[in-house]
């Protein structure tokens, strides 16, 4: 029996093929958060009134779990203020008034650029990793990690006790680069295929070199055959495969690893590298290639605006641009706005402040009109079992939801609450319209907070 026939999850409408990314002019003022990932906050290294150049470091930290922050326009620092991140938490930020010149900083002692895959494959992984860290790269996607953290081997590798009782730590042998998006209609990775070229090849080669992977698999959306990617794959002996984006949440890393390799990632705290696999979005691979070939940190990113707007579009946006300006470029909010969701309708975060800027970890926004917003209700579970049939990781969401609702958090943890991947399938199929994801997220946060206090 195939894995597809065992698939639970839900089937979503197929997203239309995105148009080529369109550049969006930089705003008059950018807001650069000093943390744009999971991890530590950078300290500002500039002061109000100081002139800065494009690509200049404005935030840095000696902490390993922090990514440097760079100016995305040239101009004058207006203030060191606070802004909201995609999860709604307040973080310090550098506000820069754009002078319109886009004058790049000249880095002293910068290493030579790399423009050939063969050279990248012979470069020491530590040197490549250092370049990525200096560029402040972050894995694309909400709550992503700094890329140097994501790719570096753990300081003290976790070992899992198998049936034999022998701790096993697997070396990385497979790199999966996914051009599929796990939460349609945000289609940023699919849109990035339009920019596929030598920079993408450089990025994939660098990721494979750093991770030590000899096998590279590029995952494409079903029915999409970009000729540039096919040629790159054939030239460098990389594999390509296709995934139907309607099968949600197949593109989530752990489920994708199981589908492509048959390996099961240990949960709840495991990650693909624990079974010898590294998974990176195609947008991230493209950013890596641009950093190596241009010798400059990324100052813009691909960003999808979808949903109830006049012209759904993928833009190339300067980081620090307020989300309201990007939505306006796609036609603006509907007459009666309902929700603005960062990330996607299934796994994203509804946001309340449209002055929140586009950052390294945000890949898109979905706008909903008031009439299209689904309202959850405080109704009891009707025990229909649909959430159990849909849960892709084999949990019993109905039971977990009730335990979290009534404060029985440790009982929920004993029933594998922490294995929940927060995909939203249970809420999507619930005829009683119970707020399942909210209940499970609340329960998980309570369990982790109480265990940290012990």
Task: Give yes or no: residues 250 and 287 share one domain.
Answer: yes
Sign of CA dihedral 209, 210, 212, 213: negative
Q: Give the domain-ending residue among 294, 315, 343.
A: 294
The confidence score (pLDDT) of residue 163 equals 42
Strand 364-369's sheet: what is its strand order? 22-23, 313-318, 300-307, 364-369, 337-342, 349-351
Quote the CA–CA distance of 335 and 207 in Å, as a whole number. Answer: 45
The confidence score (pLDDT) of residue 166 equals 46
DSSP type of residue 40: P
Residues with Cβ within 8 Å of 140's Cβ and at least 6 positions away in sequence, in order, are 188, 189, 281, 283, 284, 287, 301, 360, 361, 363
The confidence score (pLDDT) of residue 97 equals 98
Residue 90 lies in a domain: yes
User: Residue 129 belongs to what H/E stretch?
Assistant: helix 125-134
Residues with Cβ within 8 Å of 454's Cβ and at least 6 positions away in sequence, in order, are none
- How many CA atoms, within 13 angstroms, populate the side-chain half-sphere of residue 379? 12
Q: Give the domain-ending residue among 266, 294, 322.
A: 294
The domain containing residue 67 runs over which residues? 27-101+299-371
Quote the CA–CA distance of 224 and 340 in Å, as a whole number. Answer: 29
DSSP type of residue 138: B
pLDDT at 136 > cutoff 90: yes
- Strands 75-84 and 90-98, sheet pairing: antiparallel
The confidence score (pLDDT) of residue 109 equals 66
Residue 398 lies in a domain: yes
DSSP type of residue 331: T
Residues 383-427 have pLDDT tens digits of 999 999 999 999 999 999 999 999 999 999 999 999 999 999 999
Pick from 342, 358, 349, 343: nearest CA to 32? 358
Pick from 326, 355, 318: nearest CA to 84? 355
The confidence score (pLDDT) of residue 439 equals 96
The confidence score (pLDDT) of residue 168 equals 53
The confidence score (pLDDT) of residue 169 equals 61
Task: Give yes or no: residues 360 and 400 share one domain.
Answer: no
Task: Give yes or no: residues 423 and 314 share one domain.
Answer: no
Quote the CA–CA distance of 426 and 82 in Å, as a whole number. Answer: 35
DSSP type of residue 295: -
198-211 vs 227-236: helix crossing angle, rounded to 10: 40
Task: Give yes or no: residues 146 and 277 share one domain.
Answer: yes
Residue 16 lies in a domain: no
Confidence bin at 15 (pLDDT 50/70/90) = confident
Confidence bin at 2 (pLDDT 50/70/90) = very low
Residue 415 lies in a domain: yes
Higher-confidence residue: 442 or 3?
442
In 10 A of CB 192, how many CB atoms?
A: 27
Task: Give yes or no: residues 316 and 274 share one domain.
Answer: no
State the residue for tokens 């998974």.
279
Read off the CATH number of the domain in which 67 is found: 3.10.20.600
Task: Give yes or no: residues 320 and 403 share one domain.
Answer: no
Pick from 423, 353, 315: nearest CA to 27? 315
Read off the CATH number of the domain in which 130 is found: 3.40.50.11540
Task: Give yes or no: residues 361 and 438 share one domain.
Answer: no
Confidence bin at 162 (pLDDT 50/70/90) = very low
The confidence score (pLDDT) of residue 14 equals 79
- Residue 223 contacts residue 145 (beta carbons within 8 Å): no
pLDDT above 70 coverage of the chain, percent: 95
173: left (phi over 0), alpha (psi -120 to 50) or beta: alpha
Quote the CA–CA distance of 86 and 305 in Å, as a whole number. Answer: 15
To 10 degrees, the CA torsion angle through 303, 306, 308, 310?
Answer: 70
pLDDT, the chain, mean: 90
Residue 146 lies in a domain: yes
Task: Give yes or no: residues 61 and 172 share one domain.
Answer: no
Task: Give yes or no: residues 329 and 395 share one domain.
Answer: no
The confidence score (pLDDT) of residue 124 equals 93
Residue 379 lies in a domain: no
Task: Give yes or no: residues 320 and 354 share one domain.
Answer: yes
Q: Tell me, letter by letter, the H, E, C secondary structure of 54-119.
A: ECCEEEECCCCCCCCEECCCCEEEEEEEEEECCCCCEEEEEEEEECCCCCECCCCCCCCCCCCHHH
Task: Give yes or no: residues 209 and 290 share one domain.
Answer: yes
pLDDT at 185 > cutoff 60: yes
Residue 11 lies in a domain: no
Residue 4 lies in a domain: no
Task: Give yes or no: residues 256 and 313 share one domain.
Answer: no
**100-104, 106-110, 313-317: least confidently modelled range:** 106-110
Quote the CA–CA distance of 137 and 305 in Å, as a whole number. Answer: 22
Per the structure, the count of domains in the chain is 3
Q: Give the domain-ending residue among 256, 275, 294.
A: 294
């Amino acid at each position: 029996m195939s894995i597809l026939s065992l698939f639970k999850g839900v089937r979503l409408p197929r997203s239309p093929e995105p148009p080529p990314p369109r550049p969006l002019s930089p705003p008059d003022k950018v807001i650069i958060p000093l943390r744009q990932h999971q991890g530590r906050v950078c300290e500002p290294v500039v002061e109000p009134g100081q002139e800065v150049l494009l690509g200049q470091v404005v935030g840095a930290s000696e902490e390993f779990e922090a990514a440097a922050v760079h100016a995305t326009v040239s101009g004058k620092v207006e203030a060191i203020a606070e802004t909201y991140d995609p999860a709604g938490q307040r973080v310090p930020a550098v506000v820069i008034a754009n002078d319109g010149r886009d004058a790049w900083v000249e880095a002293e002692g910068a290493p030579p650029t790399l423009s050939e895959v063969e050279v990248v494959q012979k470069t020491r992984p530590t040197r490549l990793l250092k370049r990525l860290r200096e560029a402040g790269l972050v894995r694309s996607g909400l709550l992503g990690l700094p890329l140097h953290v994501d790719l570096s081997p753990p300081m003290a590798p976790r070992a899992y006790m198998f049936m034999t009782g022998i701790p096993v730590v697997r070396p990385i042998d497979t790199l999966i680069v996914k051009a599929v998006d796990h939460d349609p209609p945000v289609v940023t990775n699919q849109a990035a295929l339009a920019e596929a070229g030598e920079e993408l090849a450089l990025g994939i080669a660098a990721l494979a070199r750093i991770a030590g992977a000899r096998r590279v698999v590029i995952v494409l959306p079903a029915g999409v055959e970009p000729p540039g990617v096919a040629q790159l794959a054939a030239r460098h002996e990389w594999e390509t495969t296709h995934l139907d984006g309607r099968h949600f949440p197949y593109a989530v890393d752990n489920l994708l690893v199981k589908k492509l390799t048959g390996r099961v990632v240990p949960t709840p705290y495991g990650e693909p590298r624990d079974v010898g696999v590294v998974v990176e979005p195609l947008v991230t691979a493209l950013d890596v290639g641009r950093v190596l070939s241009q010798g400059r940190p990324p100052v813009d990113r691909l960003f999808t605006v979808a949903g109830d707007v006049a012209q759904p579009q993928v833009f190339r946006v300067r980081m620090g641009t307020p989300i309201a300006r990007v939505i306006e470029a796609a036609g603006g909010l509907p007459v009666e706005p309902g929700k603005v969701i960062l990330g996607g309708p299934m796994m994203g975060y509804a946001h309340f402040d449209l002055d929140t800027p586009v950052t390294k970890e945000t890949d898109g926004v979905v706008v909903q009109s008031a009439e299209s917003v689904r309202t959850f209700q405080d109704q009891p579970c009707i025990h229909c079992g649909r959430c159990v049939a849909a849960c892709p990781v084999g949990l019993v969401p109905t039971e977990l939801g009730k335990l979290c609702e009534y404060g029985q958090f440790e009982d929920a943890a004993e029933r594998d609450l922490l294995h929940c991947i927060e995909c939203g399938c249970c809420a999507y199929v619930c005829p009683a319209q119970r707020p399942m994801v909210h209940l499970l997220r609340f329960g998980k946060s309570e369990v982790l907070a109480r265990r940290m206090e012990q």
